[in-house]
């Protein structure tokens, strides 16, 4: 399992999203390894974050595949940089989220290259800012999406090696409320309380939650006021919306606008700023039929699951590409100092992905 040495190599490089030099060092190692199996590299140079990388294979007629991952992690320098292992597990920053997944993809490609001597119609995109929302790389991903028929995303697998077929859409907004300040003791009636307006909006936003539909509305932060003796002239609400169905998206956006524009406390005015960061990855018949094809290729059932968290799979699925996620190893503790990945899941995932990609290669680049 020499690929675990490669994983140790890149996990030993701090690639916190804001650590451009570290992210680029990880990218340089991935480029070195990908070039060794015949890939050319297109680099999307960035000034303040790591460069995004597209590794390109030879193109022929047939289905085009994109393997998708990210080089960044959530760990700032000197917070979590140690790589260790025991008989069952490996521990370290990114071992499952998602340097481990990138290594699964890399090793499968190595296997294909060793057997065939060339790789066709299978590209790989590694972005550098997934952990902060892919605000920069989103445009790159969506522009490239039109060139591909299928996308495999290498975020961590489920506990039973489930493949992810659905992810919630997510958006974040800030609602800014303006009132009018006044002395709470001498001029109470002259003030317009922005905090009071926020309390009404908080309740209305919370009512948007529909757990049966998989929809949540969370006002995660409220900031307002000057002090106990002053009627609050300003307040901010930071709200996140998540949804599992496209039909819910329209309802939520309409309600969000209505709640913002409505003045529950006379004299207040409100504005809103924000966006949907990642649209919903909603399971669909074409995707599920594709999973059945993959089951036939590997000769076993593929368990599937939906997740409330988001990934760049949301972008590809939203662009109409047949997308599945969770092709990395199984692990847990991601985003914590206890992140780990199960050694045996690497073997299973690499074998599975090798069969899938090899089938694509030997069948004229078609599934």
Identify whether 124 is part of a domain: yes
Choose the final residue of a domain: 225, 250, 278.
Answer: 278
- Percent residues over pLDDT 70 in the chain: 100
Residue 175 and residue 154 share a domain: no
Residue 275: predicted pLDDT: 93
The confidence band for 361, taking pLDDT boundaries of 50, 70 and 90, is very high
102 contacts 53 by C-beta, under 8 angstroms:
no
Find out whether the peptide bond into 98 is cis, omega within 30 degrees of 0: yes
Residue 13 and residue 122 share a domain: yes
234 contacts 224 by C-beta, under 8 angstroms:
yes
112: CATH: 3.40.630.10
Residue 191 and residue 173 share a domain: yes
Residue 267 and residue 142 share a domain: no
Identify whether 223 is part of a domain: yes
Choose the final residue of a domain: 229, 244, 278.
Answer: 278
263-288 confidence digits (pLDDT tens) = 999 999 999 999 999 999 999 999 99
pLDDT of 297 higher than 80: yes
The number of distinct structural domains making up the chain is 2
Identify whether 189 is part of a domain: yes
Residue 201 and residue 96 share a domain: no
Candidates 363, 320, 321; CA nearest to 149 is 321
The confidence band for 159, taking pLDDT boundaries of 50, 70 and 90, is very high
The confidence band for 77, taking pLDDT boundaries of 50, 70 and 90, is very high
Which residue is listed with tokens 């002239």?
A: 233
pTM above 0.85, yes or no: yes
Instruction: Please state the three-class secondary structure of 190-248 as a single string.
Output: HCECHHHHHHHHHHHHHCCCEHHHCEEEEEEEEEECCCCCEECCEEEEEEEEEECCHHH
Identify whether 27 is part of a domain: yes
Residue 21 and residue 135 share a domain: yes
Residue 20 and residue 139 share a domain: yes
Residue 348 and residue 220 share a domain: no
Residue 27 and residue 141 share a domain: yes
Choose the final residue of a domain: 253, 278, 303.
Answer: 278
The pLDDT of 152-169, averaged and rounded, is 97
Identify whether 367 is part of a domain: no
The pLDDT of 346-360, averaged and rounded, is 98
CA 223/CA 235 separation, integer angstroms: 6
Residue 250 and residue 307 share a domain: no
Neighbours of 210 (CB within 10 A): 16
273: CATH: 3.30.70.360
pLDDT of 107 higher than 90: yes
The boundaries of the domain holding residue 111 are 3-167+281-362
Residue 1: predicted pLDDT: 73
Residue 112: predicted pLDDT: 97
Residue 210 and residue 256 share a domain: yes
Looking at every residue in the chain, the average pLDDT score rounds to: 97
């Amino acid at each position: 399992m020499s690929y675990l040495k490669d994983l140790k190599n890149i996990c030993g490089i701090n690639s916190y999203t804001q650590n451009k030099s570290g992210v680029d060092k990880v990218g340089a190692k991935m480029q070195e390894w990908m070039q060794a199996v015949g890939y050319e590299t297109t680099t999307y140079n960035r000034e303040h974050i790591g460069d995004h990388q597209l590794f390109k294979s030879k193109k022929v007629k047939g289905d085009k595949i994109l393997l998708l991952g990210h080089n960044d992690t959530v760990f700032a320098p000197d917070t979590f940089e140690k790589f260790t292992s025991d008989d069952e597990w490996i521990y370290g920053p990114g071992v499952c989220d998602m340097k481990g997944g990138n290594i699964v993809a890399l090793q499968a490609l190595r296997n294909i290259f060793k057997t065939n001597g060339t790789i066709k119609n299978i590209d790989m995109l590694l972005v550098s800012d997934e952990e902060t929302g892919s605000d920069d790389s989103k445009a790159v991903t969506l522009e490239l999406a039109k060139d591909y028929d299928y996308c495999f995303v290498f975020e961590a697998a489920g506990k039973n090696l489930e493949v992810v077929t659905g992810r919630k859409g997510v958006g974040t907004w800030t609602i800014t409320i303006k009132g009018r300040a006044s002395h709470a003791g001498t001029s109470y009636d002259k003030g317009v309380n922005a905090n009071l307006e926020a309390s009404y909006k908080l309740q209305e936003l919370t009512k948007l939650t529909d757990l049966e539909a998989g929809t949540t509305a969370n006002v995660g932060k409220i900031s307002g006021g000057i002090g106990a003796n002053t009627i609050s002239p300003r307040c901010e609400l930071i709200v996140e919306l998540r949804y599992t169905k496209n039909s819910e998206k329209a309802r939520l956006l309409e309600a969000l606008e209505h709640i913002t524009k409505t003045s529950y406390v006379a004299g207040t005015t409100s504005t809103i700023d924000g966006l949907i960061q990642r649209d919903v990855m909603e399971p669909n018949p074409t995707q599920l039929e594709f999973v059945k094809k993959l089951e036939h290729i590997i000769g076993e059932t593929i368990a599937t699951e939906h997740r409330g968290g988001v990934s760049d799979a949301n972008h590809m699925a939203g662009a109409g590409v047949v997308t599945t996620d969770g092709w990395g190893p199984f692990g847990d503790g991601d985003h914590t100092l206890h992140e780990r990945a199960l050694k045996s899941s690497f073997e299973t995932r690499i074998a599975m992905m090798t069969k899938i990609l090899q089938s694509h290669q030997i069948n004229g680049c078609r599934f």
